[in-house]
Amino acid sequence: MKIFNTMSGKKEELKTINDGEVKIYACGPTVYNYIHIGNARPICVFDILRRYLEYRGYKVTFVQNFTDIDDKIIKRANEENSDYKTVSEKYIEEYKKDAKGLNVRDASIHPKATENIAQMIDMIKTLEEKGYAYSTEYGDVYFRTNKFKEYGKLSHQPLEDLEAGARIQIGETKEDPMDFALWKGAKPGEPSWTSPWGEGRPGWHIECSCMAKRYLGDTIDIHCGGQDLIFPHHENEIAQSECSNGVTFANYWMHNGYINVDNKKMSKSLNNFFTVRDVAEKYGYEPIRYLMVSSHYRSPINYSVEIIEQCKSALNRLYNCREDLTFLAQSSTGTFKEGEEEIKQSLLSHKDDFIAAMDDDLNTANAITAMFELASDINSKLNARTAPSKELCDFALGLYNELANVLGLLYTEKEKGIDEDVQELIDLRNQARKNKNWAEADRIRDELKAKGITIKDTPNGTIIVTE
């Protein structure tokens, strides 16, 4: 498998530290609000990365943190006359609801920043001992950016260019504008922890360095997150970790592209800011996930009402293929018969295309195309006219579900328990069609539709269609 490494700026063959194992760290949410559709992209994309690596036989340790102490969390707590812990715990639970709706699996480990304060203090002390960090009279501790000569290597910007836009804010006593906070001295009314520099709390960047080290080791295989995190967050993580640990922090860096709304950058000021919960209430969660995987993860994608409706329609086509195939499998019999080995190989060719796409820098867009081509092949070659064996139907259904599961799709189909009244109407309509009483058949179809039930006539009988 090849992945695009932000550090090198090119695709590289994936070679893990330990054969057959992959250690991944993904930057998680700052839990002060519901996640928005921009947050949903890395959550879904790197869930698929994990699923695919496991599909290819790797043992994956996937760590995704929760930032549960931060300026934004403190601000929200003050607005709600609450405390940081109540706010963070509330929105961790809300995140879990949305993640479950998006069919995102729980991480192997979901560490919280506040559970790793001791590790952060230890790393900051090491950096201070090595001369990479310094404290101020106000209890703040900063990282000496100029001392790390490779600073800027991830964002591919020389330090001089980065320094041009740096400023020292009022109240800061940094040696250099580029220096960043490792520890913040306590302010009145804010939560704090005891440290060698007095009461305070950690800076944002240090937490990920420490949690990656604690749960995955000094060097990890893949570090991933949104494109917006390349600078300064990931650049600062590299500086802290490599100066403290003395080794490469991560061998591969993967970053997903931005999401625009109606071809404009998502922004509260433009009133085009949508939470996942908002969109899911109108369209369901699965069309959101489909949107995230329908384009290559590094490409920018656009969200609009029209596009999410298209995603919903595309999913329905995939669902309908599976429903027809499931119905056919239930009514067919027998083992593979003459001519079906050729059909089996034709179906397997789409699996080859799927794997080739995913091996090429997780190209989910081409993988989705392979899924639709598989669906088309199934629809044309397995139906009542071809009278396939049950063994072929079961094979096709297993393959279809196998690939869908790698992408985390086709997971919200409702169980179609048909009550007696509905079944009676379907039976009456079937009899009307048999008698060529098309007017009565149409009337019953409309009656079922009024009940919220859409039906489809297939060569194998009438089935209820997923909306």
pTM of the full predicted structure?
A: 0.88
Gap between the terminal Cα atoms of the chain: 36
Burial of 313 (0-12, 13-18, 19+ CB in 10 A): exposed
Of 312, 281, 229, nearest to 42 by C-alpha is 229
Whose tokens are 């290819």? That residue is 56
231 CB neighbour count, 10 Å cutoff: 15
Burial of 40 (0-12, 13-18, 19+ CB in 10 A): buried
pLDDT value for 161: 77
State CA 82 to chain mean position distance: 30
pLDDT value for 433: 85
> What are the Cα distances from residue 94, in Å, to 29, 31, 88, 225, 254?
11, 9, 10, 20, 26
Structure token pair of residue 124 = 């900051």
pLDDT value for 156: 94
Task: Dump pLDDT digits (tens) for 174-191.
Answer: 999 999 999 999 999 999
99 CB neighbour count, 10 Å cutoff: 22
Q: What is the dihedral of CA 35, 413, 258, 308, to 10 degrees?
A: -100
Identify whether 232 is preceded by a cis peptide bond (ω within 30 of 0): yes
Identify the segments of the chain with pLDDT beneath 70: 164-171, 268-269, 413-420, 458-461, 463, 465-467
Find the largest Cα–Cα distance for the chain: 92
Task: Dump pLDDT digits (tens) for 407-463.
Answer: 999 998 654 445 667 778 887 888 888 888 999 889 988 888 887 788 877 655 676
Question: CA geometry: angle at 276 spanning 296 and 404, to 5°?
Answer: 45
Residue 139 φ then ψ, to 5°: 85, 5
Of 384, 324, 374, nearest to 351 by C-alpha is 374
State CA 467 to chain mean position distance: 24
pLDDT value for 448: 86
State CA 373 to chain mean position distance: 24
For residues 351 and 77, give the distance between their C-alpha atoms in angstroms, rounded to a whole number.
Answer: 50
Number of C-alpha atoms within 13 angstroms, CB side, residue 315?
27
Residue 344 φ then ψ, to 5°: -60, -45
